[in-house]
Structure 1
């Protein structure tokens, strides 16, 4: 395995972007970009009709009417961004059709005042993605059809790497100057082991070597939007801290700083404080797992106070089944629903799971940057007249 990794690193150098690729944004460039944005609040978005990113984007299951309906729901509660996953196999399958559907999505999103953050690669869940019809949701199981990109077969096959470069530069190049796009999240949780699946030995060094190339390829496409990859593991993200090699790579290469946190509010705020010394915009691109202590009312006001963008996981309940908790992989919720929903903002019919949450999102999004408005008073019933 060691010889294989060394050989892969050599291949990484061979496919690295040319020297004229744009540099990482300076702090001033990054903060200037952020100053032009509203306070960013939204969700990680997959339409209720799709089990994963392949089913969302493939022509046979592309559902613009559903997307338009759901992004209207987002607009109605003050959301102005969505984090949306793409996939390299979609580019290989039909690059022109894929670009056309991305353009259609951007048209719908703009009509609802939403700028998406697109994700290019992902290390979570099923390591063997396949195009075509996707299997139905496994009853009672959280995110039972989500797929990695490029997946383990693709990571191990160096002959496919030029295709990944073509995907990165083809997608970013097509939309490099499109002001409807917020930015590019080049790899989601690159050091996620997806341990519920076997056969992924040696994954982390393969991903880390490829991630370094992806940043170079993306910069060579010269996007006007920022590049990032979010940290999520470990306990020390401070500059010069004890972060992992992967975390150091992510933080050193990102134009803007992004992170994930599914913990209690105290931990969420501590994460932000660790990242403030980078002097760059901070975006939380995943949070909100009610059963894990991460909630809208706990984390969202903190994000607002620090002017940190916030994108929760899940929007409308559907085929991803992420209303169910992570432990459903060990004990599927077949006979009963969880006591509280884990993720999601809306039920499938468009009604809020909890109206108090959507009211909070709407109230915070309407307030000036950095300002947390006081909670609305709870109407109390009139006192009964004493006799």
Structure 2
């Protein structure tokens, strides 16, 4: 009997010892629990920022390639963000600069993060994107097409890689190499794994887009989340839903289900009216996770700072509007500029907050942002 008790004690001791051991370094971390996500979010200030591209860049490649990486403009424009009380910027990366010079690309990201930190800004970094031109090419980027919204923005990965699985091995190296390099970096707020993965770009590049795009994206989206977790980031992972009804599992597309089920914190886009924005929040509340609206603000649609930010503050939803400085991306023009000819500024800017010289497009907007973020007290 004593011998049996001794054996039981030994087994119990071994069990407790094993339970205390940390996960092996090469083991992927799990999706955060709701409690872990809530704990992380509770440590953050109310998240407010913009989607950021320096005004001197037409797309992600021009922002990040060595010969056009413009730290002077980046630093200046991030300073304008800080002046509004913004504490994040959502910034798109691209797989091609990593493929061509991973060391240099990572160094440039590191420099960007230093510039952001100087302004108390912690970016959300976007890894892949399915919007606009499906044929990205490195090197000198084309000039903007006059008066056309995002006339030079490019997808990552491009169409050729997306449809040919034999070319996707390097994407695993990109995702793991990128995230593992910055896995414990407190300068980064979050990783946005894939922007609008199922966007068909019907109104712009529809005729040359990949047919049945969702069929190609779905398995790669699943792999991307897995690769990202294998890099063990301390920052949360997310991918934002952007269309349809999200109020029940039965209504979700396969891609939306992956986005919502695999995200540590929930993110979404809304360019509709304030009442629609509030409805979107309620549709996603059932997940019990923190929420960040990573795209909004299209003035002619009724999506505005004054309309959305008070609702977001009420529900403690993070907010990241589209567009910051009127520049080569030309997002002051609406989406319909791909079909409708414009010859000058639109009657009402679609996106963006500042002109190139740093003056606000609408001072009542910038004053409102300052007041709601606490930079400037209301009189």
TM-score clears 0.5: yes
Given candidates 170, 179, 190, the residue that maps to 2:177 is 170
Equivalent positions of 1:285-364 (< 5 A) are 285-334=294-343, 336-364=344-372
Equivalent positions of 1:1-387 (< 5 A) are 20-195=27-202, 196-197=204-205, 198-199=207-208, 200-235=210-245, 237-334=246-343, 336-366=344-374, 376=378
Give 1:333 deviation, angstroms: 1.3
Give 1:332 deviation, angstroms: 2.9
The TM-score normalised by the length of structure 1 is: 0.89
Give 1:238 deviation, angstroms: 2.5
Counterpart Cα distance in 2 of 1:224 and 1:324 = 38
In the alignment of these two chains, the number of paired residues is: 352
SS at match of 1:364: helix
Deviates more, 1:192-201 or 1:144-153: 192-201
SS at match of 1:115: coil
Counterpart Cα distance in 2 of 1:168 and 1:110 = 23
Q: Is the 8 A contact 1:139 1:332 kept in 2?
A: no
Q: For 1:83-104, what per-residue CA distance to the aligned partner results, in whole angstroms no more than 9, with x for missing partners? A: 0000011100110000000000
Give 1:329 deviation, angstroms: 0.5
- Consecutive unaligned residues in structure 1, runs of 5 or more: 1-17, 368-372, 378-387
- Consecutive unaligned residues in structure 2, runs of 5 or more: 1-24
Match of 1:380 in 2: none
Match of 2:15 in 1: none
Match of 1:15 in 2: none
Output the aligned Cα RMSD.
1.5
Q: For 1:49-88, what per-residue CA distance to the aligned partner results, in whole angstroms no more than 9, with x for missing partners? A: 0000000000010000100000000001100000000001
SS at match of 2:194: strand
Give 1:359 deviation, angstroms: 1.1
Q: For 1:118-149, what per-residue CA distance to the aligned partner results, in whole angstroms no more than 9, with x for missing partners? A: 00000000000000000000001000000001
Structure 1 pair 59–19 and aligned structure 2 pair: CA distance change class (3 A): closer
Structure 1 runs of 4+ aligned residues shifted over 2 Å read 238-241
Q: Point out the structure with max Rg over C-alpha.
A: 2
